[in-house]
Amino acid sequence: MGTTAAPHVPPRDVFAIRAFNRFFTRRVGVLRPTLLDSPWTLTEVRIMYELRHRGRTEALALRRDLDMDPGQLSRVLSRLERGGLVVRSPSPDDGRRQLVELTAEGSRVSAELDERSNTQIEELIAHLAPADRQRLLAALATVRHLLDAPAARRAARGGAPEPAVLLRAPRPGDLGWVVERHGALYAAEYGWDRTFEASVARIVADFGAGFDPAAEAMWIAELDGERVGCVACVRDDAQTARLRLLFVEPSARGLGTGSRLVGTCVAFAREAGYRRMTLSTVSVLRSALRIYEAAGFRLTRSAPARLYGADLVPQDWDMDL
């Protein structure tokens, strides 16, 4: 409506994003006058969702967080109120402000719509193999990261754009890079000898020689087009998956890269039908240990040993899926 895209954005990029918007809105049915076979619109369902998860909240906060026009929000709340789904009352702190909350019936309706929405998405992606589902989730996370309040993120970084980490499947040449970077990085940071690189080479060779894509996978982390980390999920036995080869380059640390790699690996193992997941590490890798513990792994064995030319404490960590 009188606005144009920034001059540096090629028209083909704008058209591609608009085409995806048309595709996705049609697939999830948001263009219909009502949503999820209910008498409620997308806006009304979203407001009920927010109220169910927030509890009683100020209308002003709701309007601000949803970026809604005051008049529009008032009309939507009035319709929901007439339907017996929400109630409004003056704030005890400031009578000029309104508090909004769901009624018992509103909570029931919202929960039912939530379940319908979950079912809709399950049907949308049910045909995808676990590995493809993880690719989709990684791509969605990247989209959200790139589009979520970019101006605010740039301001926090002194005007510099915030880098985005992408997780992808390995390409030709990546397996050799995984071996080389493990060897170089751990030699530089911990003084480990070439026996560690040889151990990694055996793991990578076994993975590359005959992995089962339905039960095993590897992810390469990229930052600004550069490889900065990896992780792999391999079969230990029919019931147990093993997390292997986790590492993150120094340039990608502090961005949640390690947590994303581990979380993606665990989610894949769960989707692939494993009952347990295990990993082996050493106690000196403290940052990795914090990530494993936060993901739900628990220490099950720890004993000192001479390993990779150093005195280390090898550990096993396990979790039920």
Strands 98-102 and 57-58, how do they pair? antiparallel
Task: Using alpha carbons, select from 232, 238, 318 the residue that is nearest to residue 280.
Answer: 318
The Cα–Cα gap between 27 and 24 comes to 5
Residue 149 pLDDT > 60 = no
pLDDT tens digits, 158-170: 555 555 788 999 9
Give the pLDDT score at 32.
76
Cα-based distances in Å from 192 to 118, 175, 183, 188, 289: 48, 20, 8, 8, 18
Q: Whole-prediction pTM value?
A: 0.53
Q: Which of 103-112, 122-131, 241-250, 269-278 has the lowest mean pLDDT?
A: 122-131
Q: Which of 34-48, 63-77, 134-148 has the lowest mean pLDDT?
A: 134-148
Mean pLDDT of the chain: 86
Strands 298-302 and 314-320, how do they pair? antiparallel
Strands 240-248 and 276-282, how do they pair? parallel
Q: Which of 25-39, 67-81, 83-97 has the lowest mean pLDDT?
A: 25-39
Task: Using alpha carbons, select from 270, 296, 308, 234 the residue that is nearest to residue 137.
Answer: 270
Q: Which domains does the chain have, with CATH numbers?
A: 11-125 (1.10.10.10), 130-320 (3.40.630.30)
Task: Using alpha carbons, select from 164, 122, 320, 129 the residue that is nearest to residue 256.
Answer: 164
pLDDT tens digits, 163-203: 578 899 999 999 999 999 999 999 988 999 999 999 999 99
- Note whether 318 and 297 are within 8 A (CB): yes
pLDDT tens digits, 118-143: 888 898 889 988 777 877 876 776 67
Mean pLDDT of 280-304: 94
Give the pLDDT score at 159.
52
